Structure 1
């Protein structure tokens, strides 16, 4: 089990967790983020044209998004991720014209974004049909060997929100494109983003371990005896959520399934409570000996 606690919303790492890490990344959302139910992704389709290895209309849409983010979230760091060097330089020139470079906004392409993190990321690969409406681009590095890993890096840089601006819809990819693993994965990611923008939220992957019998677990017992408990939780760092009388939520930690799945007793008893507090959650223990021997 590997911890990924950078993202305030697990949806931001969910795609990578599913496609690259076998759902083994342990995530935990900020409490305020969970309660707000705001989408972690936005989707914007533009009618851009790919010409001379750049997409001017898409670059203009990126600049508008940058202005919006800087105006409404002045405290957030912002990163723009593009598909190639020339699109990156076009957007950089536009940012200088806007006069927002002093805001610390950084523009990267998928080749040099490794290691960067930002509160908000604007992903604009730039690829689009040409003036005749034909999609003839070779997609640069995304069409070459290792494209899947480059895409994984590009889509996992955001802490709070990711804005995807695209001149392509998933339906625009031809069967020949989908023979390429990188382009096939890109299409799947665009579908994921569209879905998240319309209906946000992901369920925490349930980690199954051989040898644990869920049917007689404390978690099951608590769910049966009290309707205030739910096992619809956003993280494997907790077992249940309990709704309190004032409508607030409290994470419930037990000594059965989460304890069994944890990498160590220290992780289950010390690290998980600390993480919950850091992310704004109230929490409480429920012990098997208290419930089964009343």
Structure 2
């Protein structure tokens, strides 16, 4: 708090954001006192970590106690949009045992996700393997000095054997998949695991498969290939770690050189880079009929010309957005009931003339069948209730054409980014998920047993 007070003295223009009379003012709280408060962005500082001797204690105060995971859950769920974590160690530095306190295991999982977007299961690895074949591979790895954990993960993403990285005990070096004869002869199983492997590799898992027939018929060959793969993985990890340390050193040196330079405000919700380009939303900039006195007393047929112009420029457009555009171009600041009623009559005239069509609250150009996906920036600001379901569907199709298949939440986020949302709030996600469900029910999309969604 002393540092905050110092910065406020240096930047007095920020004081209004700290006033207790302000709705959702800035606060500093600890793990025990934050319950009940929410903010769009939460800065989370982990007060435990490496000491001056580079020792990392596994004592994290309340998290080590019973119910520590609930306190952590309360803390990290206070952020509506973004949680920024400050900590002097990585998740991989925190080497914890399977029987460590649940709160400590939850912290490691959270830090791993914050750093790598890698959400691991908190289910403990099993002590049992599925077959004598796996037992044999496990014993071989142990005899060569590797620490191995069995049945890591859950459901269809459970890994037979996971080899711990000896240079970073909090990470896995490689996943070993032990496939029996039935698997080898089953094209369905191979196709299913091809997609599963793709997902795991996307999460930075290195995977090595061993066939049971090869293991027993060409044992020395299989053992040599396994050790070579592990050696290659260790060398790759060591190079990556060296590169990361060098990059961090350069970044630190650069920061030290530039510490007196003005700092630009770089805050924004991190975008999803899906490699898809869409046009920006373009608003109507002029009206054929305007500035002839009070809007609500104008001839509905004359006002219908304005409605048609806005719908042709921005359709499909929500009725409320159309009203806002005409009001603004007319030079008005507010919209009353009389103006809304006048424009409703004008919409009816335009529909009767066959110049526009209506689908629910959305107004469409006469000949438009399929809407373009448009990215909303400052004007209009993105509002999911003001975007028609047909445009949301088109955005979903663009994402799936690019990614082929993805899980529902990621599909929703990528879709929202195409439409201009910098953050995907609950109401936005809910609306997009409703559209995705409709596409699944209509048979256009299919949700596979592993949760991925793709074109049917």
Q: Give the alignment's TM-score, normalised by structure 2.
A: 0.25
Structure with greater proportional strand content:
1
Higher-Rg member (1/2): 2
Structure with greater proportional helix content:
2
